Amino acid sequence: MTLEIVYYVSQILAVVGVIGSLLFVGLQMRQANMLARNEVSDRISNAFSDKVEMILSDPELSHIFAHAMNGQSDFSVEEFTRLSLFGPILVNLVRSAMSAKAQRLFEPVAEETAFQTICWFLSKPAFSKVWRLQERLGAHNPAIFEFIRPEFDKRYPELAGTLRLEPLLEQDEETEVSDA
């Protein structure tokens, strides 16, 4: 074996080593990305679950919450006010989902679960009232409300357009007329 052949063999081995290390780094990056996605998804899910658990630990509020989840929409002002405390929780879930989606840090299954959960709550009349009230009051960035509408309309075509701003309560119509 000549020195030239040894040189070529060593060059081939070096190329194979470089390719192998690049493959290894690629696999490590893929695994790190998967772990980051899972961590973000878990963090969003746990934060939402913790807040719902906190609500459900209050017997009176859990009673109101259960009625709202079953579609009841006629609440007293006090009950509606207590129920409206859940609104910022939904908005924070949407904000977290928007951020994770924009950064591509959401596992597709977790993303679908988060949007399905948000839209399910918003399909209930009481929660959609809270949502529209927050939008009307300018309580959060308008992009949050615009972001969720197509997701909601896609999942609940029979309710499409119901998250738009309109009078929330019968008294609102009277108030708007008397204010003019």
132-142 pLDDT, tens digit each: 888 888 888 88
Alpha carbon distance 119, 128 (integer Å): 9
* Residue range(s) defining the domain that contains residue 142: 41-168
- Domain assignment present for residue 6? The answer is no
54-106 pLDDT, tens digit each: 877 888 888 888 888 888 888 888 888 888 888 888 888 888 888 888 887 77
Q: What value does the mean pLDDT take over residues 116-120? A: 86
Alpha carbon distance 93, 50 (integer Å): 12
Q: Mention every residue, 6+ apart, whose C-beta is less than 8 A from residue 131.
A: 87, 90, 122, 145, 163
Both tokens assigned to 145: 């409300």
Label residues 58-93 b or e (16+ Cβ within 10 Å = b): eeebeebbebbeeeeeebeeebbebbbebbebbbbb
pLDDT band at 168 (very low <50, low <70, confident <90, very high): very low
AA letter at 129: K
Q: What value does the mean pLDDT take over residues 45-50? A: 80
Counting the structural domains of the chain, the total is 1
Question: Residues 148, 55, 141, CA angle at the centre, nearest 5°?
Answer: 30
- Domain assignment present for residue 179? The answer is no
DSSP string, 49-86: HHHHHHHHTSHHHHHHHHHHHTT-----HHHHHHHGGG
Question: Residues 49, 157, 171, CA angle at the centre, nearest 5°?
Answer: 75
- Domain assignment present for residue 153? The answer is yes
Q: What value does the mean pLDDT take over residues 32-40? A: 82
- Check pLDDT > 70 for residue 11: yes
pLDDT band at 166 (very low <50, low <70, confident <90, very high): low
- Helix, strand, coil proportions of the chain in percent (round to 5)? 80, 0, 20
- Check pLDDT > 90 for residue 18: yes
- Check pLDDT > 70 for residue 174: no
pLDDT at residue 165, rounded to an integer: 65
Alpha carbon distance 54, 62 (integer Å): 9
- Domain assignment present for residue 120? The answer is yes
pLDDT at residue 81, rounded to an integer: 86
- Domain assignment present for residue 100? The answer is yes
Instruction: Flag whether the pTM goes above 0.75.
Output: no
Mean pLDDT value across the chain: 81
